[in-house]
A and B are shown apart, each in its own frame.
Chain A
């Protein structure tokens, strides 16, 4: 079963609407036992890194999520702040994050660009590109460049999407990026789609 983590500051309903539109059945997950039969886990994100981490801690989800994704290798998709919290540390209110991946989350330079970045930006993948919807004041600087799947430009290039084994994540809102975003979610949820990405 596909599980969408439903925590206080997330936009789980939007993600649910998108999956239903694609023809998938999914359930909201609010605690450890909700994750038991998960095949795919989606961590939506809006709001701050700190609020997200606090919310995950409050629901007692940090350990079970880590076990599922890093231990059992359940397919995982993080969106926006749901991507940022996978790293070690966020400069947003100095927040310690999940540390599944090595790297820091830093803020865009307000002297150079309007913050938050809000709107459709062009994301370049290995051999194609597309437009996706972003809302972010912070971006990830990963240590391991191998995980970078897509990048975009906002006062210099930043990481827009990650793919490493079972972990997928996007800085943009795939659930709110029209047909391009729906296609990407569909690829994550179908074995054929995942495979075609591995070989891309």
Chain B
């Protein structure tokens, strides 16, 4: 059967992985290709790489770092941040990425989802979105853009449904409220989303201990989880090894790709 995926997500600044809390105060962790290689060897299932300052600095994505990582890891690899058009997508895929993540750009111009899906296939287009609780919207969640700084007034559930219709192949939901808190994923958000779309869902924001992963995978249908802080945040008293997390999930009867040794 298809297993649940553990994804390491890198926020990249100048070719280095950083870690933030609620999208602020990034601290430096390691060079991207070094950490990517370590986690590949540790049998992480997938990598996501956000060039988090590309948009605000109005520059193209850091292709050199994408290339370096792609030569070292032989697992799926998603890249996002600063992608504005089909030609940016093409360059990123040519550098060795499998999937393209689009976020703020898709809110500004939703047609980029369809254009990307037509050109490279839906499986290539990951719609990533930052959402925050907002009781005045029907679903209770609002979409934020520009590094979670700007509210859009868009209802989160309406937006992911539309993104699926437009051709997205996967949805990554980041909870702004839970991000970096280490208190667990927003299960309510993921439960709501699984009823709205039929494409795979990735949960992001809030994981701090192995139980948060088993809660996510037993209480919701979510297929993949982003675990950044748990793996390498220097802010945590204790980091976890991929193997340790997978062994914990296997003993909790959650199907994951087992560690090879």
Q: A residues within 8 Å of B by Cβ?
A: 9, 11, 13-14, 17-18, 20-21, 46-48, 51, 110, 114-122, 131, 133-137, 153-154, 173, 175-182
Contacts of A135 in B (CB 8 A): 76, 98, 123
Q: How far is the CA of A94 from the CA of B96 in the complex (A)?
A: 30
Instruction: Give the interface residue-count category, chain B.
Output: 35 or more
* Known contacts A9-B119, A116-B199; is-contact A17 B169 (Cβ 8 Å): no
With A47-B120, A176-B76 known, 18 other A-B pairs at CB within 8 A are A11-B93, A17-B96, A46-B121, A47-B123, A47-B124, A114-B198, A114-B221, A121-B3, A122-B1, A131-B258, A133-B76, A134-B2, A135-B98, A135-B123, A176-B74, A176-B75, A178-B43, A178-B74
Cβ B3 vs Cβ A120 within 8 A: yes
* Known contacts A119-B45, A119-B200; is-contact A21 B74 (Cβ 8 Å): yes
A7 to chain B, nearest CB (A): 12
A-B residue pairs, 3 tightest by C-beta: A47-B121, A120-B257, A131-B257
Cβ B5 vs Cβ A181 within 8 A: no
Name the contact of A117 in the complex, choosing from B2, B71, B122, B260 (C-beta under 8 A): B2
- Subset of 12 A-B contacts with CB under 8 Å: A9-B120, A11-B98, A14-B70, A116-B169, A116-B200, A119-B2, A119-B3, A119-B224, A173-B76, A173-B98, A179-B74, A181-B74
The answer to whether the Cβ of B170 comes within 8 Å of any Cβ in the partner chain is: yes
A19 to chain B, nearest CB (A): 11
Q: How far is the CA of A89 from the CA of B122 in the complex (A)?
A: 21
Q: How far is the CA of A178 from the CA of B41 in the complex (A)?
A: 9
Q: B residues within 8 Å of A by Cβ?
A: 1-5, 40, 43, 45, 70-71, 74-77, 93-96, 98, 119-124, 169-170, 198-200, 221, 223-224, 257-258, 260
Name the contact of A9 in the complex, choosing from B121, B198, B257, B260 (C-beta under 8 A): B121
Q: How far is the CA of A14 from the CA of B93 in the complex (A)?
A: 9
Q: How far is the CA of A120 from the CA of B43 in the complex (A)?
A: 12
Q: How far is the CA of A21 from the CA of B77 in the complex (A)?
A: 17
Of chain B, the residue at the smallest CB distance from A14 is: B96
Contacts of A46 in B (CB 8 A): 98, 120-121, 123-124
Q: How far is the CA of A17 from the CA of B5 in the complex (A)?
A: 23
B71 to chain A, nearest CB (A): 5
B35 to chain A, nearest CB (A): 17
